[in-house]
Amino acid sequence: ATTTVGVIGLGSMGLGMAQTLVTKKFRTVGFDLSADRRKLAEDAGVEPLLTIGEVITVSDFLVFSLPTAQDVSGVVESHLDLFQAKSGQRVIIIDTSTSEPDVSRDLANRLASLGHGFLDAPVSGGPAGAASGKLTMMIGGSEEDLALARPVIEAMAAKALHVGPSGAGNVAKLVNNLLAAAHMITTSEGLKLALAAGIDPEAALRVVNAASGKSMISDVHFPTWVMSDRFDSGFSMGLMRKDVRLAKKLADSTGAQLPLSEQVASLWAGSADLADSDDFTRMGAFKQKN
């Protein structure tokens, strides 16, 4: 029988992943609260359904791409009766949202007791990576669930790294995004210094990217979205603020002392000139800053 994948959340990331699944010949159904997003998905060959319940009922695998951990647990908890009804037919949830380790562990335990699987599987690579099936995915969960979900995961991700048990994928993603958030600020400050000291920031950036100061932020995000003043990477300030806040919360809960990250967190939270709906690459703008 054909494998049916249900994508819940068809935003910047979810729509691209759903499109990729269609291209790779999975029967793909989907749901988003927004009718506009459902229409875009339909245009891309996804079967849009009108409720999350219908998606759960027909799917073998569920891919979540929701803003927050609260959205993820809300969707699962309000449909526990449907998961219970399907308990003879194992469903694996691949949660690609940047979520919280404790929430993932709790959901994995509750779904396991109903005979279902849950992998925390957050991603990196942006909307372009989602639409081309070239995401990097960091996975927490059991070997068994991962083996079952592998064909779906490999359709979406060029690199799928199993980090450890449930919650480990979320921890790795928060570590990654904390670094990306820091790189956005440090690269911006470096180019601000270049400008203040009288050299062309474009030339300074070329040097950094051929030398030891390079990061993916300096190598991809600066040329594509910051130097060009385009600021349309498709990842919002609001979502990056969430990630930095979650990384700080994780550090606090473990007792890890991270003095530079404290500063990074307060700069992202406090950048009052930028709205949550702005693109996160605006945080790299350096020309007008004093």
82, 170, 237, 33 alpha-carbon torsion, rounded to 10°: -10
DSSP assignment of 18-50 equals HHHHHHTT-EEEEE-S-HHHHHHHHHTT-EE-S
Compute the least distance from the CB of residue 103 to ligand NAD, in Å: 12
d(CA 129, CA 149): 19
Minimum separation from the CB atom of position 204 to ligand NAD (A): 26
Mark whether 173 is an active-site residue. yes
Give me the catalytic one of 25, 134, 159, 173.
173
CB of 255 to ligand NAD, least distance (A): 25
Give residue 49's identity as a one-letter amino acid code. L
Minimum distance from residue 68 beta carbon to ligand NAD (Å): 7
Q: How many residues bind ligand NAD (CB under 6 A)?
A: 26
Instruction: Please name the amino acid found at residue 87.
Output: S
Between 208 and 244, CB nearer to ligand NAD:
244
65-84 binders of ligand NAD (CB under 6 A): 65-67, 71, 75
Residue labelled with tokens 């927490």: 140
Residues from 245 through 284 that contact ligand NAD (CB under 6 A): none
Query: Which residue's CB is nearer to ligand NAD, number 77 or number 202?
Result: 77
Select the span of 25-33, 111-119, 180-188, 249-257 touching ligand NAD (CB under 6 A): 25-33
Distance, CA of 265 to CA of 60 (rounded, Å): 39
Rounded to an integer, what distance in angstroms lies between the CA atom of residue 13 and that of residue 165?
24
Main-chain dihedrals φ then ψ at residue 93, nearest 5 degrees: -95, 130
Region of 60-68, 86-94, 163-171, 223-231 interacting with ligand NAD (CB under 6 A) = 60-68
Q: Is 64 in the site for ligand NAD (CB under 6 A)?
A: no
User: H-type helices in the chain, by residue range?
Assistant: 12-23, 35-43, 52-58, 69-77, 80-85, 101-112, 126-132, 143-156, 168-196, 201-208, 216, 237-254, 259-270
Minimum separation from the CB atom of position 93 to ligand NAD (A): 14
In the list 6, 7, 11, 91, the residue contacting ligand NAD (rule: CB under 6 A) is: 11
Residues that bind ligand NAD (CB under 6 A): 8-14, 31-34, 37, 65-67, 71, 75, 97-98, 123-124, 126-127, 234-235, 239
Write out the catalytic residue numbers: 173
